[in-house]
Every structure is written in C-alpha cells, then in structure tokens.
Structure 1
Amino acid sequence: MGVSTSEPDEGIAVVTADYPPVNALPVRGWYDLADAVRAAGRDPAVRCVVLAATGRGFNAGVDIKELQRDTATGGHGALLGANRGCAEAFSAVYECEVPVVAAVQGFCLGGGIGLVGNADAIVAADDATFGLPELDRGALGAATHLARLVPQHLLRTLYYTSRTVTAAELRAHGSVWQVVPRAGLPAAAREVAREIARKDGFLLRLAKAALNGIDPVDVRRSYRFEQGFTFEANLSGVADRVRDTFGAPGGTPTTEG
C-alpha cells in the first residue's frame, strides 16, 4: 500500500497509487504522491510520467473517515492536512517538468479530478467515470480542474448535482485522448507516453513550461480560492453535518473508504 515508481520503458516513469479499498488517500498519501511525481519530473532521464492507480478505481478523493476521526475530537489537523496535501499533489502534476499522462480506470472522484484535470493527457478505461461529489460530502473544491475537462454549463450542473460523466462523454468534449477496454489501459497509456518520450527531453521541458505559461487560468490560485470556501463550510458546522451522513443508512451514497 502506498505510492510507488517504476520505469518500464526508457524515458518513462510510472507513478502508481495503491490505497485499498478505493484509493481514498489519507493526508500522508497526497504528500507522497506529490513527492513521487516531482522526483520523476526532476530525473533528467525521464521524458514522460504516467500517473496510475491499482484496484477498481483511480481515485476516490480524500479519506473522509480520517477527517471524521479528527473532527470527532475537535481537531482540524486532518482537514488542513488534506487541503494542503491535495494542493501539493495537484500542483506537482501541473508543475511536473515533463508531460504527465493519467491512466484512469473505474471511478475518478473529488481529488481524482484535481489530478487528471492538471494532467497533460488522459487515457481512460471504458468503465471510467468522473465527478465531484463534494456537495454530498460537506466540501467544496476542484471545480478549477473539472473546468479543464468540460464546458462551463456542464461543469455547473455536474457540481450542483454531484453526478458523474463517462470517459466516452469526456472524449466527446476532447478532454480524454483515448478510451480503451479496462485490460488494455496500462498498455495504451504507456504507448501515448512512449510517443511523447521519443521527443527531445530538453524541448519537452520547454514545451511544458510554455504551455503552462499561456494557460488562461492560474490553477494554483484558483484552487486555493475554492479551498477558502471549504474552510468556511467547516467553520460554520455545515460540513460536519453533511459528513455525518457519510456511510450512514439512508445517507449519502459513496464509494470512498
């Protein structure tokens, strides 16, 4: 369990998250993921990073139960840690010195949207679904990143309803590069990475910096702005009230662990 890095092909690093049962990352996990992505990007031998996960889903966001345990004792350390950890991991993907290809299977929720929204390319399994169930979980955030995947009115509808969209729907919007059968996902993601890694490494780094420099929205500032409203929801007590329905009979349905 945890974050691991492998180099299956020349010029490619695969960073894999493994947090059973559903890849809902604890605070430490977000920082470990950020460290692994940054380290891979700094390696002069790496020209492309593949961001992957084990199990039935790519990422189910933060570990809500970790937050609940902390707030039950009146603390806010886990909330602060999760917010800072998510910001670190999202920034690490965005600021990675080389392109990042996200390989997404199953559910990609909450913080998962933050990761793939900041990736350079997305390859998805045909069972992949994407969404922000934040309002059902007493939180806000990552609309910044969902806005990079879908048009504005669809973003708002998905955000307010907590509904998900499929990989095929995102491909129709141009944000997912390729949709493949689940069994073929690792190979398909690595094939895209190999195509990228055949380019000159120095030029790839220049290209990544140039593309980030012309982005119309500063994703780091935008996400931090959103996080302020998450803190407001917590200070008002509404976040705890909504989170208390997490996993309860008749409460908010969820895939998180």
Structure 2
Amino acid sequence: MGVSTSRPAEGVARVTVDFPPVNALPVRGWFELADAVRAAGRDPRVRCVVLAAEGRGFNAGVDIKELQRDAGHGSLIGVNHGCAEAFAAVYDCPVPVVAEVGGFCLGGGIGLVGNADAIVAAEDAVFGLPELDRGALGAATHLARLVPQHLMRALYYTSRTVTAAELHAHGSVWQVVPRAQLPSAALELAAEIAAKDGTLIRLAKAAVNGIDPVDVRRSYRFEQGFTFEAGLGGVAARVRASFGAGEGA
C-alpha cells in the first residue's frame, strides 16, 4: 500500500498509487505522490512519467474518514497542502505526464489528470467532482481544463460525472481502450513521447506550461480558501455527517 515507482520502458517512469479500497488518499498519500512524481522528473534518464493506480479506480479523492476523525482542523490543513503539492508536482514535472485512468476519477483525481499532459482512459472510466456533496470545494480549476466552461459549471454544481468517451469527444482524453488494454495503451503513448530527445522534451514541457492562459497553482489555491472557509464555518462537517457509505471526495 502506498506509492511506488517502476521503469516499464526506456525513458519511462511509472508512478503507481495503491491505497485500498478505493484510492481515497490520506494526507501522507498526497505528499508521497508528490515526492514520487518529483523524483521521477528529476531523473535525467526519464523523458515521460505515467501516473497510474492499482485497484477499482484511479482516485476517489481525499480520505474523508481521516477528516471526520480529526476534531480540529489539522487534517483539513494537511490535505489542502497535500493536494496542492501533488497537483503541482504533476503540472511542474519537467517531462510530460500521461495519466492512466481506469474506473472512477473523482475529486482530487480530477486535480491530477487535469494537470497531466495527456490522458489515456479505460472504457469504464468516469470523471467528476462530488465536492459539493462531500462538504468541500476545489478542483474546478482542473475540471475546466477537461471540458468547456458551461459544462464544467453544470458538472460542478450537480456533482455529476462524465464518461471517458464523453471527454474523448471534447478532446481532453487521448484514447479510450478496454480496461485490460489500459496499461499497454498508456505505455505506448509514453514510449512514443520518451523516444524524443531528452533535453528537447524538457524544453517543450517548459514552453507549453509557459503559454498556459491560467496559472493553475494560483487558481487552485484561491479555490482552497473557500474550502477552508466551509470547514471553519461548520458547513463542511454538516454535509460530511450525512456522508456514510463512501470514502473519498
């Protein structure tokens, strides 16, 4: 259980998240993920990173049970910082990051894939922000990188999900494949990227980030202020109290 790194092909690092049962990450998990992505990006032999997960789904967001166990605000502060670090590590990774998404990609998972450079998804993949149903806010910054503005708002306000096929139609998912073919499809794209000159691909990543119209780090940090306000005001706890069956958001 935790975060591990492997080298499935020349020039490719695969960072895998495994927090059973649903990959709802605790505070330490977000920091471990950030550290692993940063370490992979620092390795001069790596020219592409694949971000993957074991188990039923790619990511179910934060571990809400951890927040519920904390009578104070330490866990909320910790997860705010942890998510920001993990999302930034993906975005700032010196080489392209390919997200390999199977099953559910919810809450914080949207922050990860929204900051990735490309997404390869399984046919069963669904994407969404159930934040309002979980007493939280955030990652609209990253959902807006996947779908048009008005669809983002409707999805955000309703907590509905969209399929991998729908995101493929919007151009934000590179490829949709059967679940069994997901690892090989993601690796195929990563290997194609990794075949480029290592120095040039790093310059290309820096150049593409430099022309982004939205500063994703500042934008997400702005959103987090409202999440913390909801926590201090008691509305987050009130909404989470009705959340019993699930484990992430």
Q: Structure 2 residue aligned with 1:186, among 183, 186, 189?
A: 183
How do 1:16-165 and structure 2 match up within 5 A?
16-70=16-70, 73=71, 75-165=72-162
Normalization by structure 1: what TM-score? Answer: 0.96
Q: What amino acid is the match of 2:116?
A: A
Q: Structure 1 residue aligned with 2:196, among 174, 196, 199?
A: 199
8 Å CA contact retained: 2:142, 2:216: yes
| Distance in 1 between residues matched to 2:55 and 2:67, nearest whole Å | 23
Gaps of 5+ in 2: none
Secondary structure at the residue paired with 1:17?
strand
- Please name the residue that 1:245 is paired with: 242
Gaps of 5+ in 1: 249-253
Q: What amino acid is the match of 1:22?
A: V
| Structure 1 stretches of 4+ moved >3 Å | 254-257
* Alpha-carbon distance, 1:236 to partner: 1.0
* Alpha-carbon distance, 1:162 to partner: 0.2
8 Å CA contact retained: 2:63, 2:247: no
- Please name the residue that 2:8 is paired with: 8
* Alpha-carbon distance, 1:256 to partner: 3.2
* Alpha-carbon distance, 1:255 to partner: 5.7
Q: What amino acid is the match of 2:212?
A: D
Q: What amino acid is the match of 1:256?
A: G
Determine which structure has greater relative contact order: mean sequence separation of CA pairs < 8 Å that are 6+ residues apart, divided by chain length.
Answer: 2
| Distance in 1 between residues matched to 2:231 and 2:10, nearest whole Å | 46
Q: What amino acid is the match of 1:138?
A: G
- Please name the residue that 2:211 is paired with: 214
Q: What amino acid is the match of 1:179?
A: V
| Distance in 1 between residues matched to 2:12 and 2:189, nearest whole Å | 10
